[in-house]
Chains A and B, each alone.
Chain A
Amino acid sequence: MIRRREGLLDGALIVLVILIVWQGLYAYAGAVALTPPWQTVRYAIGLFGTPSFWGHLRGTLAAFGWSLLISAVLGIALGLWLGAFRFAGDVAEPMLTSLYTIPKVTLYPVILLLFGLGPSAKIAFGVIHGMIPVVLFTLGAVKTIRPVLLRTARAMRLSPMQTARHVLVPAVLPEIASGLRVGFSLCLLGVLIGEMFASQRGIGFLIINGINSHNVRLTTAVTLIVILFAVGANSALLMLDRRLHHSR
């Protein structure tokens, strides 16, 4: 109880510090760089009243949703497959890690050349970003299942379905959830980068458009919306993630 109240107090303090720093940055760099907190919040709320903003938001969310879905399905499937075949997993893992660490943004032109300028390029780019962590986490989860668990299942004469349902899934689920959380963030990143580089629609486009036309109010407000969405969604997923890891 005390811990909890302390946590709330500390959280409030952190938010306060962020607001003060923000206001301080505004005082230092001026209106060419960003708008102050209160004004930004008002403008951001105002944005939600304009139909054109909803169009951009829908565009981004649709692309994001598809890329997340594809990343999850393909990522988990590939991860399970690589995990089941030890050799394939060992061959593939460092390749995937390398893919994870390269600046994928340089690949975007290729994606554009292959997929054209429509939403499919954005989706593909989101998948490239988001799928790898899902594969890596799933692969890691399958690889580190303690063999004794599977032997126990055999000793209890569980059918393959029962083994999957009662042993395999519960054993790998928490790690897969962690992978999906990271994949979530990276899909969003990929889609936004795609929109920033070449698109006429979406939240990323709004930001880059604001930068290019020196519309500081728009840039700051949209940035705030992106951050709040990312942090909010991530915190919710993190809570789910922790619960899964604890209930193990």
Chain B
Amino acid sequence: MKRTIVTRPAMSRARRVVWTRWGITLLLVLLLEAACRLGFVPKLAVLPPSEVIAAMVALLSTQEVLTNVAETFSTVAIAFTASVLTGFVLGVALHGAPRLRRAIDPLLASYYAVPIFVFYPLLVALLGLGALPLMAIGYLAAVPAMLIATLLGLDRVPPVLRRVARMHRLGRVSTAVLVILPAALPNLFQGIKLSLAYAFIGVIAGEFILSSGGLGYAIAFAYDSFDNRTMYGLMLFVLLSAVISNGLLSSWESRLQRRRGLQ
């Protein structure tokens, strides 16, 4: 009884925030549409959103584009999965080796200051042409995010919870599974989300600038051949994919948080 009274106004505010967000998005799209139709923006440079959506739908029914989508998505999926696993394992290991961690810390802190795809030529020389070097770029872009999140999560496990585990005389494995992992879960989730985003960014950027296949390349190619319909259609698809996959992970995450009575 009490709870409904407490959460009612909070819910309606949260709902208002969400509706406002959608409203603003819709408004921006409509404004852009109007600006294009009324000629405020050069028709050559920017397509009206309605045409972009139509172009995207049309493109997604062509075999060629579907092949590109499959190629890019599988590359991202592999890079993402591998990076989450590696990042987690490395994070756990590094957490247990404080001296090594102190030594590596400056490198980790500066990692994202270096544009990773400067290593593309090296990766091609090592791994050959094709999907492998792109996968490697996505992987390299995503591993440290997961690693850092794992370290942070383990750091933030309240020491008193470890002592509770010892009071219950839990072994190493039970302590890890029943206490440490659940306590670190919010940070781990953050790492997984970032890893997905960075793997996607890495792969698309690699394709865009350097490779000769996949969605990123198709966009760059369309730009070079002044094919704005294809370019905008694919662009919308890529952006939507990123936003939707991120949104799915976020909603999963907030379900988890709600389960802990947060939010």
Q: Mark A102-124, 1 if CB is under 8 A from B, else 0.
A: 11111111101110000000000
Whether B239 contacts A226 by the Cβ 8 Å rule is no
Kindly state whether residue A216 has any CB partner on chain B within 8 Å.
yes
Chain B residues near A102 (CB-CB < 8 A)? 197, 201, 238-239, 242-243
Kindly state whether residue B263 has any CB partner on chain A within 8 Å.
no
Chain B residues near A192 (CB-CB < 8 A)? 115, 118
Q: Mark A20-60, 1 if CB is under 8 A from B, else 0.
A: 00000100111011100000000000000000000000000
Whether B209 contacts A193 by the Cβ 8 Å rule is yes
Whether B122 contacts A103 by the Cβ 8 Å rule is no
Chain B residues near A84 (CB-CB < 8 A)? none
Secondary structure dominating the interface of B: helix
Whether A106 contacts B216 by the Cβ 8 Å rule is yes
Whether A193 contacts B102 by the Cβ 8 Å rule is no
Kindly state whether residue B152 has any CB partner on chain A within 8 Å.
no
Q: How far is the CA of A110 from the CA of B21 in the complex (A)?
A: 24
Whether A7 contacts B104 by the Cβ 8 Å rule is no
Whether A29 contacts B120 by the Cβ 8 Å rule is no
Q: Mark B143-187, 1 if CB is under 8 A from A, else 0.
A: 000000000000000000000000000000000000000000000
Number of chain A residues whose Cβ lies closer than 8 Å to a Cβ of chain B: 59
Whether A103 contacts B201 by the Cβ 8 Å rule is yes
Whether B115 contacts A101 by the Cβ 8 Å rule is no
Kindly state whether residue A219 has any CB partner on chain B within 8 Å.
yes
Q: How far is the CA of A230 from the CA of B106 in the complex (A)?
A: 12
Partner of A107, one of B103, B235, B243: B235
Q: What is the distance, in angstroms, from A30's C-beta to the closest C-beta of chain B? A: 7
Q: What is the distance, in angstroms, from B136's C-beta to the closest C-beta of chain A? A: 13
Q: How far is the CA of A110 from the CA of B232 in the complex (A)?
A: 9
Partner of A114, one of B17, B45, B121, B122: B45
Kindly state whether residue A19 has any CB partner on chain B within 8 Å.
no
Q: How far is the CA of A91 from the CA of B17 in the complex (A)?
A: 5
Also in contact, A113 and B45, with CB within 8 A (given A91-B20, A106-B235): yes
Q: Mark B36-55, 1 if CB is under 8 A from A, else 0.
A: 00000000111000000000
Kindly state whether residue B262 has any CB partner on chain A within 8 Å.
no
Chain A residues near B16 (CB-CB < 8 A)? 87
Whether B242 contacts A219 by the Cβ 8 Å rule is no
A-B contact count, CB below 8 Å? 154
Nearest CB to that of B215 among chain A residues? A106
Q: What is the distance, in angstroms, from B139's C-beta to the closest C-beta of chain A? A: 16
Kindly state whether residue B5 has any CB partner on chain A within 8 Å.
no
Nearest CB to that of A226 among chain B residues? B118
Partner of A34, one of B24, B107, B122, B238: B122
Q: How far is the CA of A102 from the CA of B193 in the complex (A)?
A: 12
Whether A90 contacts B17 by the Cβ 8 Å rule is yes
Q: How far is the CA of A51 from the CA of B82 in the complex (A)?
A: 44
Whether B17 contacts A184 by the Cβ 8 Å rule is no
Whether B114 contacts A94 by the Cβ 8 Å rule is no
Kindly state whether residue B6 has any CB partner on chain A within 8 Å.
no
Whether A10 contacts B114 by the Cβ 8 Å rule is no
Nearest CB to that of A207 among chain B residues? B118
Also in contact, A103 and B238, with CB within 8 A (given A185-B112, A235-B110): yes
Kindly state whether residue B248 has any CB partner on chain A within 8 Å.
no
Q: What is the distance, in angstroms, from A227's C-beta to the closest C-beta of chain B? A: 5
Chain A residues near B120 (CB-CB < 8 A)? 211
Kindly state whether residue A168 has any CB partner on chain B within 8 Å.
no
Whether A185 contacts B103 by the Cβ 8 Å rule is no
Partner of A106, one of B115, B119, B239, B246: B239
Please, could you name 9 A-B residue pairs with CB atoms under 8 Å apart, sorted by A? A11-B106, A33-B126, A95-B24, A106-B238, A184-B113, A189-B113, A192-B115, A208-B209, A219-B121
Known: A14-B107, A98-B242, A108-B208. 10 other contacts (CB 8 A): A34-B121, A98-B247, A101-B193, A110-B46, A197-B220, A219-B118, A226-B118, A231-B114, A234-B109, A238-B106
